[in-house]
Amino acid sequence: RRPADTEIDWKAYMQEVEGFANGTLDYTRLKGDTGPLVYPAGFVYIFLGLYHTTGRGSDIRLAQYLFAGLYLLNLLLVFRIYCRTNKVPPYVFFFMCCASYRIHSIFVLRLFNDPVAMAILFLAINLFLEEHWSWGCLLFSLAVSVKMNILLFAPGLLFLLLQRFGLLGCIPKLCICALLQVVLGLPFLLVNPVGYLTRSFDLGRQFQFKWTVNWRFLPEEVFHNRVFHAALLLAHLAGLGLFALHRWHSSKESILTLLKEPTRRKPASPRLTVNNILWQASCVCSLNASAWIVFVLFSSNFLGVCCSRSLHYQFYVWYFHTLPYLLWCTPTTKLAHMPKVLLLGVIELCWNTYPSTVCSSLSLHICHGLILLQLWYGTAPTALSHAPPPSRKPTAVSKKAQ
């Protein structure tokens, strides 16, 4: 029997935004059956629109249709990113469309806010690939205001902004992100600023052990231990530092050169020849730049997922659509395609095991570890990841080409 919907948080969402619709601006007083409101203001505005559209949340079927449309839009945005990078074989798109029961459930049956945040994020990444960095930062901040897991992409985005604009050029982009948060939260900040900040940006919130997908093999007292949380945070920071130094930063110069204006950095391009000039003007350079941008953002998020204090079932959408890219962004031989597909299948099986078991949690960590090893030892994309092919003789150039 197919369930019409699976009620978990939808009613609580509607109860939380109903308080705002009734005029409550004190964030500490906004709550639902599952507890207090713990998401930033962007969540309130978006789900307030759904609250009014669905008759105060009563027309769940209409909400499901809207989320089905969101699912298709999300796929369109993801496929557009993948087409820009030209890294993933076409048959993997089928896996993203049809092979994940859990993702379909998160979008259409359970109506979580996680898909909303991720769809906005993928739209922001599309804008980054089109060199619309200011608009991309605006949408990135909007995604953060729906759910804070988007901050896992923030270290990678900061690196990209520094690489693209330098320190002084990066500051206006960061101001765009901060200003939107202030504007969205202003009604609540004027009434109870401490209450809004502590509720909507609570980084120390405790998770329930019964819902964990990734740490089932640990004793519950270890799962709740602050020392364990601190160790995960240190591991996360160490991973980001290592990737920033050795995987994202491809230049032989110090990483501190990112603080300089791009025009004042030592050029890393090869010597000027006819072949090099023609190559730089080709679409290959654009493909490499897109692949590198996506690699930095997706790997930044993946490191955060690997070091997460807990992963709940709806959190699968945080990185599901990035997994194929992480697996295929490094050069692959024909024999290596099948193990990567199997790895995706094992990850899907781990997320579909309910309740999670010791075996499913350990298997998930093993899969994550294998992906990390590939990202570390594989040939990762860079801003200019492939030198022009060597030529024994100078290439004749026509007047039109000149």
Q: Where are the domains of the chain?
A: 10-377
CA 330 to chain centre: 19
pLDDT in tens, 261-289: 877 776 655 454 555 544 444 444 566 78
Dihedral pair phi/psi, residue 393, rounded to 5°: -125, 145
Choose among 353, 337, 344, 303: nearest CA to 321.
Answer: 344
- The answer to whether the CB of 10 falls within 8 A of the CB of 106 is no
3-state secondary structure string across 286-302: HHHHHHHHHHHHHHHHH
pLDDT band, very low/low/confident/very high, at 256 (cuts 50, 70, 90): confident
Q: Which of 232-236, 293-297, 333-337, 374-378 has the lowest mean pLDDT?
A: 333-337
Dihedral pair phi/psi, residue 212, rounded to 5°: -70, 140
What is the structure's pLDDT at 379? 83
Query: For the CA atoms of the chain, what is the radius of gyration?
Result: 23
- Assess whether pLDDT exceeds 50 at residue 330: yes
Choose among 171, 169, 163, 156: nearest CA to 124.
Answer: 156
The SS3 call for residue 35 is strand
pLDDT in tens, 115-161: 999 999 999 999 999 999 999 999 999 999 999 999 999 999 999 99
Cis peptide before 262 (omega within 30 of 0): no
pLDDT band, very low/low/confident/very high, at 3 (cuts 50, 70, 90): low
pLDDT in tens, 61-70: 999 999 999 9
What H or E segment, with its residue span, contains residue 385?
none
What is the structure's pLDDT at 202? 82
* Per-residue b or e along 352-365, where b marks 16 or more CB atoms closer than 10 Å to that residue's CB: ebeebeeebbebbe
How many CB atoms lie under 10 A from the CB of residue 6?
A: 12
Q: Which of 24-38, 112-126, 310-324, 375-389 has the lowest mean pLDDT?
A: 375-389
CA 110 to chain centre: 20
